[in-house]
Structure 1
């Protein structure tokens, strides 16, 4: 009733998993920030990382053999006693991996079987057609970070923190959010029905959205009244650094009195881009730390040549500011380079790495690090608290008012920053 080769495979995968957990800090190489996947993102396969670790004294083969005696006892009992035989050994093995990962209590650490992994890493090619929202795929459910300006998602009233618990009537419970994301995407003109769980609402509710072709901008800029420069970073992508530099050059040609950096509803993106962007405003010194499970700390410092390191600066943030935008805002705040105005940010401060498993048995995503601000603040699940809190109400939005922007202008004109 039992397959010895399958037992060996399960043992190998369990051993690999234990080494990855114990030595996660040693498997990263050029890790980016966790992906806050947009609709769509330029989704590409995560780097495959081979685990190279020497088992510690407590993880010797003898210790593992003793530790897993109850596991193999349960394995044998299922094969001998379960009513519906034969059982699928591969399914049992994958369930064991999922159970181990779930026992860590970290929603960002997860297992994908081969089919799920292949689907999750399938590139999204061609033009983007969907609802137009930045989303977080690292939790239990696909969660809205922020709708894009002028998008169907915004028109439908989706808000930051909304959890998508079903798509077209199909429950998302137990389904990896990256796969739910693919179901949200679809041809322009088609309709998708999302079931939303919103904080403060007693019951879930359905939202019907007609998909459109979505063009994703990265940076916008303009001169405001009173000779104030305005720069909005919408996402930290491949082109963002170049577009920020181009925009700053044009803005600074006007000899502005001050600069407003708008990071509201910016879901983040690449770590390298965040360092490059914040270096335009901070001339030197620490801008971020990355702490790994083995006690190793990686320090990121500002790069030389920033274009706007001395101009008076105010940064706008809100609950949709996440990941790379929080790195940028956190560094500016901690280094006393400028004031943050708005509302508390999203709070995304962990780093994940994908590792494929042997024998084409899928992959695991393991949280390997936390990132901290220059003052060593860990903001995961907490967010950044602005220096000046200014709410944006529904009435403000309907009346096309922006009290957060108004406050930023007021601060710059008064010289408070």
Structure 2
């Protein structure tokens, strides 16, 4: 660092502060810099004299300081990780902006979620993630026929009534007290995003340009700034005002404005709370019941295809020869690359008995076209039940979800393994996203004799529960539980109970860390609902799961992908399973 630059910058930016410095402070500062430059005593005295004359002769001091020159040895060293970190963030924003410009919102959300995990606390990334999620949710709503029917059928007063109902449910059931002002602000963000989405503009025949919209937004935001929203009634009144203003000056129907405020009110609470369209609500209940109409596959969006993560045994896709790991590259003749992955995924849906054509690509082979008939599919929550070491009596099962049928399915699997001589069990929870709280408690109760399974705490006393194990029907065999970073929610209830009660050994990776309970609330005033976080849950030792997850006893860095877990260990490629099997064998040897 050059002393001239340091002091000149201070003088130019803060002249009064420099004038008020006492002499000894200036002397000490300048001595430090001079010593670093090996300046002689005489030159230091000259420099001090010039500094003391600074008020009267600023030009002289500048000339003197500039004469000191530059010394590379005196430059402040910037840590390499600091500059590399900035470069990494710049690249994150560059890639994100590219995805945004091409309106690849699914990919943008995944990109920013990963970035937020790697750079926690970086507010700009959080903002980008919120906007990307808002775009994605809106694009999905405007291709959802149940939502579009509600828009056509209901008038603005009815939509405003739905908003009032949603706010009332948030006030009654949400785990924390609500910041009504923030919910209203998010509503305006949703409206702003909606006005940029082509599907929304086409649906409502909007012609207003961005220059037409900007002053209207400025006016509405000024009103919000002057009227802090502290109650849900005030939130409802502001939404009503915004709806009237946008309809009058922009031509955006008030009913559509209220719809965006409804969606924003739920999604602004946390990442798990959300508005559910009629079809989404039906899907949730189908997942709870363990059946749905479709092809019988689970898919994951990729840049130019849909990855088949799981094929449900006995479903139409399984009978057509589709395998986990296959990629769907076209649906009904439309290339996934030529449309959005969300649109392609929607095209796979349909009524029972209808037909769909899919092009499947496996590894490097040419795509193969298949015609599949949709039908109702029963989704088993237990898969791959088998004995993996008959000599040692070690059984294995994969628990894929927690639904109404899980307890019954598990009983059947356990007795089948018991008939084959099971003396130890590996429970694979990798890739299990969770499900019903009650189902997780029922599963844990099968392996715990006494003690707490899980505790929930919410805002109301009705959410404060301590679930206890019962002695009757307990399986006392040694356990090994496999986890990965995608094991979440109900999976973490089971794993946390096994760990804290010292009932088994956890192998794999730390789990996701979703320690919250959501309730599904159908709306009385329309075909739809909201999902709200109503409580947090804690392991038997009182440990919070949110943001922490369940840590394994034995960590395995490289865990097989969930869609290939069973195939992987069958071929000996699954490192986590191999470790779990070794642990189970040692348990039997004791």
Which TM-score tier does this pair reach, normalised by the shorter chain?
0.5 to 0.7
More strand by share: 1
Number of the residue aligned with 1:99: 264
CA distance in 2, matches of 1:405, 1:231: 10
Number of the residue aligned with 1:15: 164
SS at match of 1:259: strand
Cα 1:300–1:222 shift into 2, 3 Å: same
Q: Tell me which of 410, 413, 417 is aligned to 2:582.
A: 410
- Deviation, 1:248, is 3.0
- Deviation, 1:94, is 1.5
- Deviation, 1:123, is 6.1
Q: Does 1:155 align with 2:304?
A: no
Number of the residue aligned with 2:275: 111
Per-residue CA shift, 1:373-404, capped at 9, x if unaligned?
22233334553221111223689949543332
Root mean square deviation of aligned Cα: 4.5
CA distance in 1, matches of 2:490, 2:155: 43
Cα 1:113–1:93 shift into 2, 3 Å: farther
Q: Does 1:89 align with 2:237?
A: no
CA distance in 1, matches of 2:256, 2:480: 54
- Deviation, 1:242, is 3.2
CA contact (8 A) 2:454 2:540 kept: yes
Cα 1:251–1:79 shift into 2, 3 Å: closer
- Deviation, 1:275, is 1.9
CA distance in 1, matches of 2:296, 2:340: 19
SS at match of 2:530: strand
- Deviation, 1:332, is 0.4
Number of the residue aligned with 2:399: 234
CA distance in 2, matches of 1:185, 1:392: 32
Higher gyration radius (CA) = 2
CA contact (8 A) 1:287 1:373 kept: yes
Number of the residue aligned with 2:386: 221
Q: Does 1:315 align with 2:481?
A: yes
The equivalences for 1:238-277 within 5 A come to 238-252=404-418, 256-277=422-443
The equivalences for 1:45-56 within 5 A come to none
SS at match of 1:360: coil
- Deviation, 1:23, is 1.5
CA contact (8 A) 1:354 1:364 kept: yes
Q: Which has the higher contact order (CA 8 A, sep 6+)?
A: 1
Cα 1:69–1:240 shift into 2, 3 Å: closer
CA contact (8 A) 2:480 2:504 kept: yes
Number of the residue aligned with 1:44: none
Cα 1:407–1:299 shift into 2, 3 Å: same
Cα 1:265–1:378 shift into 2, 3 Å: same
- Deviation, 1:338, is 0.5
Cα 1:188–1:279 shift into 2, 3 Å: farther
Cα 1:308–1:192 shift into 2, 3 Å: same
Cα 1:155–1:305 shift into 2, 3 Å: same
The equivalences for 1:163-312 within 5 A come to 169-171=338-340, 183-185=347-349, 190-191=357-358, 216-217=379-380, 218-219=382-383, 220-222=385-387, 224-235=389-400, 236-252=402-418, 256-294=422-460, 296-309=463-476, 311-312=477-478
Name structure 1 gaps, 5 residues minimum. Answer: 27-60, 137-142, 159-165, 195-206
Number of the residue aligned with 1:328: 494
The equivalences for 1:33-44 within 5 A come to none
Cα 1:127–1:70 shift into 2, 3 Å: closer
CA distance in 2, matches of 1:316, 1:212: 34
**TM-score normalised per structure 2:** 0.48
Number of the residue aligned with 2:147: none
CA contact (8 A) 1:145 1:265 kept: no
Number of the residue aligned with 1:50: none
CA distance in 2, matches of 1:303, 1:410: 30
